[in-house]
Amino acid sequence: QVHLQESGGGMVPPGGSVRLSCVASETANVMGWFRQPPGKEREGEREGVACIVPRRQYTYYRPSVKDRFAISQDNAENALYLQMNNLTSEDSGIYYCAAGNYCSRGFSGFDIWGQGTQVTVSS
């Protein structure tokens, strides 16, 4: 089973940028980033942010982040990244790296999760 470990979270001012990283124990078919907003504690309340199919370099983004975030991966390092720019308070939450089999609008099919890293956008 793939193991995932995120890093790179922290406190960022509005309009700022942060880059999240995720190291995977092995390559997965599909990789993605999810977030759990403050006050939404249940796993089912995580929302898909971006996903990528590494072998095709296909990506999909949540509409609210499409022009601000960029997902990428490094096959040699088994690493996944999320560059987040022009952050707002609505981007705050726990960000999870995930592995699965489908990258689509519904962000379904992800069944392996990292522990999460906190991103707080605040002045």
Please list the pLDDT of the chain residue by residue as tens digits (123 residues): 889 999 999 999 999 999 999 999 988 899 999 999 988 776 678 899 999 998 888 999 999 999 999 999 998 888 999 999 999 999 999 999 999 999 998 898 899 999 999 999 999
Among 96, 95, 121, smallest CA distance to 11 is for 121
Residue 7's pLDDT is: 95
Phi, then psi, of 9 in degrees rounded to 5: -75, 180
Q: Return the pLDDT at 55.
A: 87
Rounded to 5°, the CA angle 48-78-52 comes to: 30
- Residue 95 φ/ψ, nearest 5 degrees: -100, 130
Note the pLDDT of residue 43. 67
Give the pLDDT confidence score for residue 76 in this predicted structure: 84
